[in-house]
Amino acid sequence: MHSWPLISRGFARRATTEIIDLPGVDAAELNGNLYDLRRVNRLFGGAALTVWGLRWFVQNVHTITSGHVHPLSLLDIGCGLGDIPRSLLDWSATRGFALDVFATDISPQIIGMAQASGPSALHYAVADGMRLPLQTQSVDVAACSLTLHHFAPAEAVELLHDMRRVARCGLIVNDIVRSWPGLAGAWLFGHVFSQNRLTRHDGLASVQRAYTPAELRALAVQAGLRVAAMRGIAGYRVAMVLV
């Protein structure tokens, strides 16, 4: 990822408000935006990055790969329509092991849309990622995708810290990256592939609010975590395995 500093040079982080974070969002617009995010995750590798993170834990954590009687458990924070948790279930099924996924979001409206988007084996719940209503080490892995950039640095550290509290083995953090190519890509997707107002506005705002890989590493260190593995899609997205 040596090219990351170059494609983010001169691009300062801006705390631009995203419409999806505001109260009273129109249900039809919100649902359309969530479907657009699902398309982005499927077509441009976002879902694959979280699957890569889960594969890392399965291959590298002894307590998961040896003598594990119960299904692996994963908590997903900020689940949207649940497309990435479903990808994890599909991947685990092809590998022949059971996976319990608890998909959460702070918005009851989004959880309702996720449940209505199709049948699945996911366990849905409304939950605030900053105040997870779970006991310490109650799941194997905690994950979030396109979530961390919604938080200011101090809040992001707090989120990571509480995710690590509930996760026995570690975290998967998957997020958009602040870069000039990423900003251009967000504009292009919003104006060529979508007519949705939220997608057009929030796509650009997300990139402006996002962290660079170096900043993500620094947030992880502040939360008392170690970056065990990192993988990115240049100019667009990055995933970290944190232990």
Cα-based distances in Å from 78 to 19, 62, 127, 143, 220: 15, 28, 9, 9, 18
Contact between residue 198 and residue 136 where contact means Cβ atoms under 8 Å apart: no
* Paired tokens of 226: 């170690």
Cα-based distances in Å from 5 to 11, 77, 142, 217, 231: 10, 28, 28, 13, 15
pLDDT tens by residue, the chain, 243 residues: 656 777 898 999 999 999 999 999 999 999 999 999 999 999 999 999 999 999 999 999 977 876 666 789 999 999 999 999 999 999 999 998 899 999 999 999 999 999 999 878 999 999 999 999 999 999 999 999 999 999 999 999 999 999 999 999 999 999 999 999 999 999 999 999 999 999 999 999 999 999 999 999 999 999 999 999 999 998 899 999 999
Q: What is the pLDDT of residue 73?
A: 96
User: What is the C-alpha to C-alpha distance for residues 173 and 240, in angstroms, rounded to an integer?
Assistant: 5
User: What is the C-alpha to C-alpha distance for residues 142 and 174, in angstroms, rounded to an integer?
Assistant: 11
Per the DSSP assignment, residues forming a β-bridge with 13 are none
Report the relative pairing of strands 167-176 and 72-77 from DSSP bridges.
Answer: unpaired
The CATH H-level (homologous superfamily) assignment of domain 27-177+212-242 is Vaccinia Virus protein VP39 (3.40.50.150)
Q: What is the pLDDT of residue 4?
A: 72
User: What is the C-alpha to C-alpha distance for residues 167 and 73, in angstroms, rounded to an integer?
Assistant: 9
Domain boundaries, the chain: 27-177+212-242
Which pTM value belongs to this model? 0.95
Report the relative pairing of strands 227-233 and 123-126 from DSSP bridges.
Answer: unpaired
Q: Enumerate residues 6+ apart whose C-beta is below 8 A from 219.
A: 148, 153, 156, 157, 160, 211
Please give the sequence-ordered ranges of beta strands (E in DSSP) within 78-226, or none if there are none. Answer: 99-105, 123-126, 139-145, 167-176
Q: What is the pLDDT of residue 69?
A: 62
168 in helix, strand or coil? strand
Per the DSSP assignment, residues forming a β-bridge with 233 are 237
User: What is the C-alpha to C-alpha distance for residues 31 and 119, in angstroms, rounded to an integer?
Assistant: 17
User: What is the C-alpha to C-alpha distance for residues 46 and 147, in angstroms, rounded to an integer?
Assistant: 12
